[in-house]
């Protein structure tokens, strides 16, 4: 039967199968990762599309290439202690974000004065209006948020970059959905303030 994916739920592939492969991989079995990827490839493509849809039109990275680069980075992971497949997809999404940030930095360095890479922070998103953001500015803001509140920073990665629901994010973080809803609002507000501060600073120095 063909495996189909809805969110991070895999139909036609049991939770036990996924968890067993993750555990074996975490114990150092690289073949387990090679066996896992074809089974979750469609879901990884969904996450890649989720991230790329925030990017500017005409982005040079396509979802397939983003998944491939994420796979290469996943293969470098060692001694991970996997609890569930949501945790795996969250890591994959985090790696994809790093790939896009690295790509944006190279593009900016290679073309002085190039326009900033834009994206929107309305997904998962509960925001009343759309706002254009600079991917590199968002990355800096997330790093600063991680220093203040690592959980909120992780929450942004799960909700915005992975596209996880409130309940799925709560399951990964081991907290209640109500806490996710409350902290998600606080984290978004912080990011908007921080990015606005960066923009105003850049304009003042320009």
Q: What is the pTM of this model?
A: 0.67
Sites in the chain below the pLDDT cut of 50? 1-12, 113-132
Q: What is the pLDDT of residue 79?
A: 63
Q: What is the pLDDT of residue 148?
A: 94
Q: What is the pLDDT of residue 18?
A: 82
Q: What is the pLDDT of residue 7?
A: 39
| The CATH number fitting domain 116-206, selected from 3.40.50.300, 1.10.10.10, 1.10.1200.10, 3.40.30.10 | 1.10.10.10
Q: What is the pLDDT of residue 103?
A: 83
Q: What is the pLDDT of residue 120?
A: 47
Q: What is the pLDDT of residue 128?
A: 30
25 close to 91: Cβ distance less than 8 angstroms? no
CATH no. for 1-112 = 1.10.1740
Q: Which residues contact 160 (CB under 8 A, 6 or more apart)?
A: 54, 121, 123, 124, 125
Q: What is the pLDDT of residue 110?
A: 61
Q: What is the pLDDT of residue 129?
A: 31
Q: What is the pLDDT of residue 6?
A: 36
Q: Do domains 1-112 and 116-206 have the same CATH topology?
A: no
**Domain locations in the chain?**
1-112, 116-206
Q: What is the pLDDT of residue 130?
A: 33
């Amino acid at each position: 039967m063909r495996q189909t994916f809805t969110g991070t739920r895999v139909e036609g592939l049991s939770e036990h199968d996924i968890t067993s492969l993750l555990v074996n991989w975490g114990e150092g079995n690289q073949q387990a990762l090679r066996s896992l990827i074809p089974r979750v490839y469609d879901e990884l493509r969904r996450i890649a599309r989720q991230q790329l849809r925030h990017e500017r039109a005409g982005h040079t990275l396509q979802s397939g290439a983003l998944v491939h680069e994420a796979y290469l980075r996943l293969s470098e992971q060692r001694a991970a202690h996997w609890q569930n497949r949501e945790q795996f997809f969250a890591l994959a999404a985090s790696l994809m974000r790093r790939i896009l940030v690295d790509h944006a930095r190279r593009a900016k360095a290679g073309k002085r004065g190039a326009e900033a890479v834009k994206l929107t922070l309305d997904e998962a998103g509960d925001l009343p209006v759309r706002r254009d953001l600079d991917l590199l500015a968002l990355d800096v803001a997330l790093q600063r948020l991680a220093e203040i509140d690592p959980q909120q920073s992780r929450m942004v990665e799960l909700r915005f970059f992975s596209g996880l629901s409130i309940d799925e994010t709560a399951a990964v973080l081991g907290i209640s959905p109500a806490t996710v809803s409350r902290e998600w609002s606080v984290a978004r507000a912080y990011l908007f303030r921080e990015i606005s501060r960066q923009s105003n600073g850049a304009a003042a120095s320009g």
